Amino acid sequence: MLYRRAGSTHFWVRFRLRGREVRRSTRTSDRAQAERLEKKLRENAWAQTELNETFHTWDEATARWLTERAAKRSLDRDKEAFGIVAEFFTGLPLKEITAPRIAKLRQVLQVGRKPATVVRLLASIRAVLRASAAWGWLADAPRVLMPKIERGEPRFLTREEFERLHKELPEHLRPMARFSVETGQRYGSVARLQWVAVDLKRKHAYITSGTSKSKKAIALPLNTTALAVLRAQLGKHVVYVFADHKNRAPIGSVKTAWLKAVKRAGLDGFRWHDLRHTWASWHTANGTPPVVLKELGGWASLAMVERYSHLSPGHLAQWVESGTKTGTASRRKRRKRLVYKARRA
């Protein structure tokens, strides 16, 4: 049967065949098109139940994906993505999720969403389809074209701007922000930092593999300011270094408090993650070699560090005269040879 949900202009189809229920949106407000889709869905269901034709649906694929990737740290993002595309793919056989269909979905997803969000959603779809091909549920995974993302320059603050922002933050967030900008660690690693991973005598903290994005442990040397922040936190929470205004830890989302502080400081659009960019920018401007910065920041490759290289051209200065020196030396040698030959003659 066809029906409309409250608040929806699209027709939905729902029917049951031998105990198997099919329910999904037709993605159209045209009744004739909706009826054609319903007929096709009924034919697929009949072929599967009566002719024993084996094919798997998108719902089966996502269910298996979530089961097999239960330990994946970004599983909640996958669930969110599957929820968004459910209206388009629910009940659909995998073999009918073709490249043209995905291209149409991409156009719909791009309305009102940032390119990075669309890429994340499409990446989840692509991962499930590739896994389905590996399971033998698909002959080949269809191609998923990603929209291009223009990456701008990393945003960072001057020290004066950071101090202005620091004053506007709630009291419980100030130590976290200071520690973040002095160590370059991501929000999750800082919020979940525990005292057992801190060695004040050796002036080190240890970012565990469970909290680092790269899934690799990071030995983090601490500068004087970072050490001062940690010492000031002693005795505030038994397990975690940082706690909220009610001494609860680990601290969850700080989005609302952060956005208000950023606005009051006149730094609209500045994100918590930009503190990491700020830390890297300060280091680069002060001459920290890219290889060292890579290790300190826990990046997997130098390519990520190269985004900051324009801030410190000083490491190139020693080479700018090389071409001139080589050319001068060569001319000098040629002149000596000519003089020597003239004297011999």
pLDDT in tens, 181-194: 999 999 999 999 99
**Sign of the Cα pseudo-torsion (306, 310, 314, 319, in order):** positive
pLDDT in tens, 17-41: 777 677 777 777 888 877 877 787 7
In the chain, CATH 1.10.150 sits at 57-146
| Cβ atoms 132, 144 nearer than 8 A | no
260 is catalytic: no
Place of tokens 């936190």: 233
Q: Which residue in 106, 172, 178, 186 is the catalytic one?
A: 186
308 is catalytic: yes
Q: Give the pLDDT mean for 272-288.
A: 90
Q: Which residue in 73, 273, 333, 335 is the catalytic one?
A: 273
146: left (phi over 0), alpha (psi -120 to 50) or beta: beta
299 is catalytic: yes
Question: Which pLDDT does position 198 carry in this prediction?
Answer: 95
In the chain, CATH 1.10.443.10 sits at 159-310
Closest listed residue to residue 145, CA positions, set 183, 102, 180: 102
- Go through 198-230 and write b for each residue having 16 or more CB atoms within 10 A of its CB, e for each that does not: beeeeeebbbbeebbbeeeebebebeeebbebb
CATH class of 57-146: mainly alpha
Residue 77 pLDDT more than 70? yes
Separation between Cα atoms, residue 122 and residue 144, nearest integer Å: 7
264 is catalytic: no
| Cβ atoms 257, 243 nearer than 8 A | no
Q: Which residue in 130, 213, 237, 271 is the catalytic one?
A: 213
CATH code linked to domain 159-310: 1.10.443.10
If you ran DSSP here, which 8-state letter would residue 150 be given?
A: -
Alpha carbon distances (Å) from 94 to 22, 73, 98, 105, 125: 15, 26, 8, 15, 11
Separation between Cα atoms, residue 113 and residue 43, nearest integer Å: 35
Chain centroid, CA 207 distance in Å: 19
- pTM, 2 dp: 0.64
Q: Which residue in 106, 276, 277, 294 is the catalytic one?
A: 276
pLDDT in tens, 123-145: 999 999 999 999 988 888 999 98
